[in-house]
Structure 1
Amino acid sequence: MSAATEFDRHIDVSPLGDGRFAVELDAGWAVGAGLNGGYQLSVVGNAIRAAFPQQPDPIVVSAYYLGPAQAGPATVEVTPRRAGRTVTVGADLRQGEDVRLTVLATYGDLAAQPDAVATTAEPLVLPPREECRPNSEAPAAIRTLAPLIDRFEMLFHPDQAGWFGGEPTGRGEISAWFRLKDGRQPDPIALLTVLDALPPVTFELGRPGWAPTIELTAHVRALPAPGWLRVRHVTRNIAGDMFEEDCEVWDSADRLVAQSRQLARLPR
């Protein structure tokens, strides 16, 4: 399968037959002891799209992370569960005998739906991009922990970037302008990565480090317009060694195009 951009090359899948796809997971998406969960979700999402090209778009995806995926060869196994106006499938990302990620997803054709998003949610307002803090200024320790930060252009709200200088605000919120660094425009498969792309919101709680996802549920609500996205992560509760993280993604047309909630472990 031809892949023109860096992102498309890194999520590219090759059919093996019987709903199985081969993939080469790229080391550039590393964070902590594994690969970014959103990147993994886009790989699996791309395999589902390849298996059902007439229903190419994720609508809802529920993902359980069973172990850290590593760079290198992997397979995705897609199993149909229900077919109709939408298709519901199960999918597993495997490395050797180990399942790293298991997914239950509903796919459809967002282009066939009415091109309208009506919401009572207020659009995410960020300062002008030139007033925000670029991810290129992130501390060296963070860049070492999460090389995937170089896959994006992220411009952080200056009032939510205290973690840059070791002075977190103590508020559980991080928001930023966002786009893929290779110029690829957003689509529903890319949104699965975007929903897990910003640093964990715990950075602004003074708890930096790798925060492995246990479960993530994503809703893709509409085809995103081209251009910069605006992304916000928020947490309201830490219990035991886990926290929830809610994400919303707004496109350049001021539409809420994707949402997610995940449960993750606190950084050690």
Structure 2
Amino acid sequence: MTHDTSSEFARATAVERNGDHSFTADLDAGWKVAGAVNGGYLLGVAGRALRNLRPPTPDPLVISTFYLGPSREGPVDITTRTLREGRSTANCGIELSQNGAPTIAAMATMGNLGELPDDVATTATPPQMPPPEECISVAEASEDFKNAAPIIDRFDMRLDPATAGFAVGKPSGRGLLQGWIRLVDGTDPEPLSLLTFLDAFPPVMFDLGRFNWAPTMELTAHVRALPAPGWIGARISTKNIAGGMFEEDCDLWDSSGRLVAQSRQLARQPRG
């Protein structure tokens, strides 16, 4: 095995090497949403495989993923291809498939976040929201919601009350969600869990009164820094809904106030 078993997340994203460029994994049913395995969890599995390529490339810097079909719990085959190896980064392709049919195809740039320059020049600001203990725990969701999205039990997720009106039938209509997230077992965040956090919150369309699940077509994630221990703050927004699709932007901030990950995904509007 090529994985750490120190946390639930590490066990759930474990991969087993079959060759220099092939792996298998067992997708965990506890990470499902609306009957399919969550796309962010799949990014964590893909990142785990890419991390174990030879020579090792420890961290995902960029990963752009196309979701070709729903993934189910159970065995998955993973194939990788190293396209270029540079002095500080490697460019790789990766595909996950089940029963001979590809479910995701991705391109990634891998590197070492710990060796990046420490300069920061940004106009981005963390979300303004109450501390986690003053936010609404998603653990208080209805049993019907939990049954439809068992993945929420994998996280300690707290929603900013100012953006959680959808939970009581009063969405704000702004297309904005904010909150805090960490793994339910208290494991501190690291680059692979950041990939999963980027697609962990309820769809931003909930804040627009559209409550069905929205399948992701493509998601591009940027991991910008090694996160400090503790809670991760998240801001999820959309500003363009057209042609039966919408974009969802997510920014993740660590406990030191550093922007540590960003993503944009294109998804289909919820049906119904």
| TM band (smaller chain) | over 0.9
Change (3 A) 1:16 1:79: same
Deviation for aligned residue 1:240? 2.2
Q: Take 1:239 and 1:178, find their aligned partners in 2: how far apart are those partners? A: 30
> Which residue of structure 1 lines up, in the alignment, with residue 32 of structure 2?
30
> Which residue of structure 2 lines up, in the alignment, with residue 69 of structure 1?
71
One-letter amino acid of the counterpart of residue 23, structure 1: A
Could you say what secondary structure the match of 1:184 adopts? coil
Question: CA contact under 8 A between 2:179 and 2:235: conserved in structure 1?
Answer: yes
One-letter amino acid of the counterpart of residue 79, structure 1: R
Deviation for aligned residue 1:124? 1.8
Question: CA contact under 8 A between 2:65 and 2:105: conserved in structure 1?
Answer: yes
Question: CA contact under 8 A between 1:117 and 1:255: conserved in structure 2?
Answer: no
RMSD: 1.2
Deviation for aligned residue 1:53? 5.6
Question: CA contact under 8 A between 1:35 and 1:70: conserved in structure 2?
Answer: yes
> Which residue of structure 2 lines up, in the alignment, with residue 172 of structure 1?
175
Question: CA contact under 8 A between 1:117 and 1:256: conserved in structure 2?
Answer: no
Q: TM-score, normalising length from structure 2?
A: 0.96
Q: Deviation digits for residues 154-190 of structure 1, max 9, x if unmatched?
A: 1101011111112211110001011010111111111
Q: Take 1:82 and 1:196, find their aligned partners in 2: how far apart are those partners? A: 28
Q: Take 1:243 and 1:231, find their aligned partners in 2: how far apart are those partners? A: 19
The answer as to 2:206 corresponding to 1:229 is no
Q: How does 1:137-216 map to 2 (within 5 A)?
A: 137-216=140-219
Q: Take 1:147 and 1:65, find their aligned partners in 2: how far apart are those partners? A: 20
Deviation for aligned residue 1:4? 1.3
Deviation for aligned residue 1:116? 4.0
Q: Take 2:85 and 2:155, find their aligned partners in 1: how far apart are those partners? A: 35
Question: CA contact under 8 A between 1:175 and 1:233: conserved in structure 2?
Answer: yes
Q: Take 1:238 and 1:231, find their aligned partners in 2: how far apart are those partners? A: 21
- Spell out structure 1 runs of 4+ moving beyond 4 A: none
1:259 counterpart (258, 262, 270):
262
Q: TM-score, normalising length from structure 1?
A: 0.97
Deviation for aligned residue 1:86? 0.5
Question: CA contact under 8 A between 2:160 and 2:178: conserved in structure 1?
Answer: yes
> Which residue of structure 1 lines up, in the alignment, with residue 15 of structure 2?
13
Deviation for aligned residue 1:114? 2.3
Could you say what secondary structure the match of 1:51 adopts? coil
Q: Take 2:66 and 2:250, find their aligned partners in 1: how far apart are those partners? A: 17
> Which residue of structure 1 lines up, in the alignment, with residue 111 of structure 2?
108
Deviation for aligned residue 1:142? 2.1
Identity of aligned residues (%): 53
Q: Deviation digits for residues 39-75 of structure 1, max 9, x if unmatched?
A: 0011011000011463210001100000000000011
Could you say what secondary structure the match of 1:209 adopts? coil
Q: Deviation digits for residues 93-128 of structure 1, max 9, x if unmatched?
A: 111211000000000011111234331111222212
Deviation for aligned residue 1:140? 3.0
Structure 2: where are the runs of 5+ without partners? none
Change (3 A) 1:78 1:139: same
Structure 1: where are the runs of 5+ without partners? none
> Which residue of structure 1 lines up, in the alignment, with residue 41 of structure 2?
39
